[in-house]
C-alpha cells in the first residue's frame, strides 16, 4: 500500500539531508489526524514545485505536525501536452466534478468564465470563495492521483476578459455544429486552450467574438455532450492522442 500523500503549502527544503526535520503546518496536521496517521508511519509530501519527499511522522497535534524528511524523488507525472480548460460556469456540483477530473486527466490550468447562458452566477466575495474552493479540489485531486504540480485555478472572469488576454498557443471552442474536428485541429507542439460552453451553450455573440479573436470552433463526435462531459472527454482524447494516456509503446 502506498504512503498517503499530502500537499504542503509551505516550501519543502531543497536539497535535503536525510534526517531533516520539517513542520507540516496546520492544514496537513488536520488531515493526518482525520486519517489517523500515527507516529512512525511513512507519508509523502509535495509542495507544487516538482518532485516529492518521503517522510516519517514524528508527532502530530491539532495545529502542527513534525516529520523527518528521509528522501527526495524528482519524479514528474505531468502530461507532455499543455491544456488550459476554459470552462463556462456550471452548477456547483458539476464544477466540482469538472475541476477534480480535469486535474486527474492532466490539465495545466483551469479558467472558469462567466457566460451569457450560464446557470450559475457569481460575483464579488462569493466568486472568490468558490474559486478558493475549486483550488482546494485541485490540490486534493493531486494528492490522490500522484501529481506533484498543482494546476492553477484562475479567478473568475468574463469570456470577453479571457479573450482579451494574449495567447501564444491554439484556442479551440467546442461546438456540435463546427466543421473542423477536435483532433484534426491540433498542433501538439503548442499549448491548447479548450473552451467549453455552459448548459445552454455559447450565445451567438460569444461565438462571433471568440472567432474574431482567433478561436477555432471544433466538434467532437456526432453527439451533443453535456458541459460536464464535453471538456473531460476532449481532454482524455487529447491526452490519448498526443499525451500520456496511450499506454506502452
68-87 per-position pLDDT tens digit = 999 999 999 999 999 999 99
45 in a structural domain:
yes
Task: State the chain's mean pLDDT as an integer.
Answer: 91
Taking a C-beta distance cutoff of 8 angstroms, is the pair 47, 24 a contact?
no
Distance CA 62, CA 193 (A): 41
Per-residue model confidence as pLDDT tens digits over 129-149: 999 999 999 999 999 999 999
Residue 247 lies in a domain: no
Q: What is the pLDDT of residues 86-127, one digit of tens each?
A: 999 998 799 999 999 999 999 999 999 999 988 888 888 999
Domain that holds residue 55: 5-73
Q: Of 38, 73, 108, which marks where a domain is finished?
A: 73
Q: In a 10 Å sphere around its CB, with 0-12 CB exposed, 13-18 middle and 19+ buried, how is residue 123 labelled?
A: exposed
Domain end, chosen from 20, 43, 73, is at 73
Question: CATH number for the domain including 36?
Answer: 2.40.240.20
Same domain, 16 and 135: no
Number of domains present in the structure of the chain: 2
> Distance between CA 109 and CA 91 in Å, rounded?
20
Read off the pTM: 0.92
248 within a domain of the structure (yes/no)? no
Which among 196, 177, 170 is positioned nearest to 115, based on CA atoms? 196
CB 244 within 8 A of CB 76: no
Amino acid at each position: 500500500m502506498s504512503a498517503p500523500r499530502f500537499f504542503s503549502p509551505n516550501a519543502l527544503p531543497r536539497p535535503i539531508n536525510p534526517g531533516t526535520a520539517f513542520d507540516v503546518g496546520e492544514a496537513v496536521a488536520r488531515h493526518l489526524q482525520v486519517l489517523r496517521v500515527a507516529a512512525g508511519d511513512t507519508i509523502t509530501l509535495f509542495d507544487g514545485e516538482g518532485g516529492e519527499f518521503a517522510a516519517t511522522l514524528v508527532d502530530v497535534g491539532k495545529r502542527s505536525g513534525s516529520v523527518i524528511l528521509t528522501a527526495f524523488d524528482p519524479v514528474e507525472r505531468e502530461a507532455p501536452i499543455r491544456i488550459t480548460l476554459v470552462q463556462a460556469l456550471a452548477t456547483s456540483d458539476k464544477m466540482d466534478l469538472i475541476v477534480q477530473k480535469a486535474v486527474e486527466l492532466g490539465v495545466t490550468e483551469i479558467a472558469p468564465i462567466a457566460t451569457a447562458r450560464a446557470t450559475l452566477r457569481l460575483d464579488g466575495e462569493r466568486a472568490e470563495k468558490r474559486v478558493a474552493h475549486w483550488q482546494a479540489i485541485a490540490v486534493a485531486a493531486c494528492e490522490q492521483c500522484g501529481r506533484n504540480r498543482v494546476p492553477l485555478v484562475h479567478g473568475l472572469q468574463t469570456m470577453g476578459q479571457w479573450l482579451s488576454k494574449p495567447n501564444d498557443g491554439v484556442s479551440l471552442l467546442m461546438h456540435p455544429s463546427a466543421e473542423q474536428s477536435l483532433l484534426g485541429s491540433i498542433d501538439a507542439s503548442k499549448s491548447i486552450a479548450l473552451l467549453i460552453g455552459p448548459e445552454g451553450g455559447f450565445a451567438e455573440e460569444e461565438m462571433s467574438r471568440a472567432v474574431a479573436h482567433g478561436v477555432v470552433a471544433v466538434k467532437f463526435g456526432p453527439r451533443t455532450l453535456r458541459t460536464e462531459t464535453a471538456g473531460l472527454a476532449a481532454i482524455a482524447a487529447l491526452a490519448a492522442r498526443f499525451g500520456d494516456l496511450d499506454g506502452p509503446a
